[in-house]
Amino acid sequence: GEDVEQSLFLSVREGDSSVINCTYTDSSSTYLYWYKQEPGAGLQLLTYIFSNMDMKQDQRLTVLLNKKDKHLSLRIADTQTGDSAIYFCAESRNQGGKLIFGQGTELSVKP
Amino acid sequence: GAVVSQHPSWVICKSGTSVKIECRSLDFQATTMFWYRQFPKQSLMLMATSNEGSKATYEQGVEKDKFLINHASLTLSTLTVTSAHPEDSSFYICSAGTKHSYEQYFGPGTRLTVT
């Protein structure tokens, strides 16, 4: 079946890099996403990667995909206190299809 | 980016009453809308997928007679929680997308509290 797993907590100091990891089981996953959720709010799409890519960089964000190990990571460079939030990885098999979410990683950034 | 709104943003109702939550895509036509439920400190659980003009597809374990979904137009889907009970208290989030896009756009969520 489809399953997405993440570690629950990560704490870093301001200015450090944060790396949030995610594993998934569905080998048919085509699209992989990272979403950010601030308290009491909806989800904001941060970035995404297609399954035929290994890496994607977007300003402070770097996504790495190891398709063989079904492992996805999100690196946030120069982490700021405003980055404190819950980060969800999600996967989808097709365009317009349903998303399967991980449990979310709560990132705490200490000054 | 595309904007999705939800109304109301929070609602408190008495046990046994029904509550309707609206999800609107403001600047695009959404062929598909998704309804999720999120408990505190937990992930989003997909409840149902709704396609414009057709019946919603419910996930296993979700009672379709309790959570009524209507997707009457390309910009509006509604979720009605019928005969609400305290265990229905949760954060309900919708998202909207199209068949031709890999992106889903999320609404800000509706906090439902049943007393």
SS (H, E, C) A24-67: ECCCCCCEEEEEEECCCCCEEEEEEEECCCCEEEECCEEEEEEC
**Strand-strand pairing, A4-6 and A43-50:** unpaired
| Cross-chain Cβ contact A43/B43 below 8 Å | no
Q: How confident is the model at residue B1 (pLDDT cuts 50, 70, 90)?
A: low
Of A45, A48, A103, the CB nearest to B42: A103
* Average pLDDT over every residue of A66-82: 95
The pLDDT assigned to A3 comes to 87
Which of these, B100, B80, B78, lies nearest to B29 by C-alpha position?
Answer: B100
Q: Check CB contact of B35 with chain A, cutoff 8 Å.
A: no
* Average pLDDT over every residue of A57-63: 96
* pLDDT tens, residue by residue, A15-34: 999 999 999 988 787 899 99
Q: How confident is the model at residue A2 (pLDDT cuts 50, 70, 90)?
A: low
Of B6, B102, B105, the CB nearest to A95: B102
Query: Taking the mean position of all CA atoms in its chain, how far away is CA A96?
Result: 19
- What is the spatial distance between Cα A88 and Cα B113, in angstroms, rounded to a whole number? 24
- Percent of chain B residues topping a pLDDT of 70: 99
Instruction: Please tell me the distance in Å from B44's CA to the nearest CA on chain A.
Output: 6
A73 phi, psi to nearest 5 deg: -135, 155
Q: B23-27, B37-41, B46-50, B99-103 — which is least confidently predicted?
A: B99-103
